[in-house]
């Protein structure tokens, strides 16, 4: 079967770092996506990891371990505008999404 888990909510302070974990189980895996979704808006693409390791894009980094079925999204130097839901999804030809992690950034 297929399963993907991520925490429901996280809270952090402006300027801090937050790590959102995502674990998955699937019989077929081609890569893992991360999306950001602000309330009332469509998800927007953040990253796609195919190989093990860390990929950095400015304040956001994404890590993948295929052998462990594990990924995380690292948000550094948090800003108020980073308050949003963060969705992970694995790619097994079609995308399967987790329920999302709501991140609240406090001043």
Partner 1 sequence: DAGITQSPRHKVTETGTPVTLRCHQTENHRYMYWYRQDPGHGLRLIHYSYGVKDTDKGEVSDGYSVSRSKTEDFLLTLESATSSQTSVYFCAIRNPGTSGTSTDTQYFGPGTRLTVL
Q: For binding to partner 1 (CB under 8 A), which residues are involved?
A: 30-31, 33, 35, 41-45, 47-51, 55, 87, 89, 91, 94-100
Based on its alpha-carbon atoms, the radius of gyration of the chain, rounded to whole angstroms, reads 13
Distance in Å, CB of 12 to partner 1, minimum: 21
Distance in Å, CB of 48 to partner 1, minimum: 5
Q: Would you say how long the chain is, in residues?
A: 107
Taking the C-alpha atoms of residue 32 and residue 106, their distance in angstroms, rounded to an integer, is: 28
- Strands 101-106 and 53-57: what pairing? unpaired
- Residue 10, Cβ neighbours under 10 Å: how many? 17
Of 13 and 104, which CB lies nearer to partner 1 in the complex structure?
A: 104
Of 32 and 78, which CB lies nearer to partner 1 in the complex structure?
A: 32
Q: How far is CA 50 from CA 8, 62, 66, 98, in A?
A: 25, 11, 9, 18
Distance in Å, CB of 68 to partner 1, minimum: 19
Of 16 and 54, which CB lies nearer to partner 1 in the complex structure?
A: 54
Of 83 and 91, which CB lies nearer to partner 1 in the complex structure?
A: 91
């Amino acid at each position: 079967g297929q399963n993907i888990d991520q925490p429901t909510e996280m809270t952090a302070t402006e300027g801090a770092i937050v790590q959102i974990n995502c674990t998955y189980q699937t019989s077929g895996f081609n890569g893992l996506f991360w999306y950001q979704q602000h309330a009332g808006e469509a998800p927007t693409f953040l990253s796609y990891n195919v190989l093990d390791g860390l990929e950095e894009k400015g304040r956001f980094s994404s890590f993948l371990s295929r052998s462990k079925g594990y990924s995380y999204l690292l948000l550094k130097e948090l800003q108020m505008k980073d308050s949003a839901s963060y969705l992970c999804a694995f790619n097994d030809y079609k995308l399967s999404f987790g329920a999302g992690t709501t991140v609240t950034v406090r001043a």
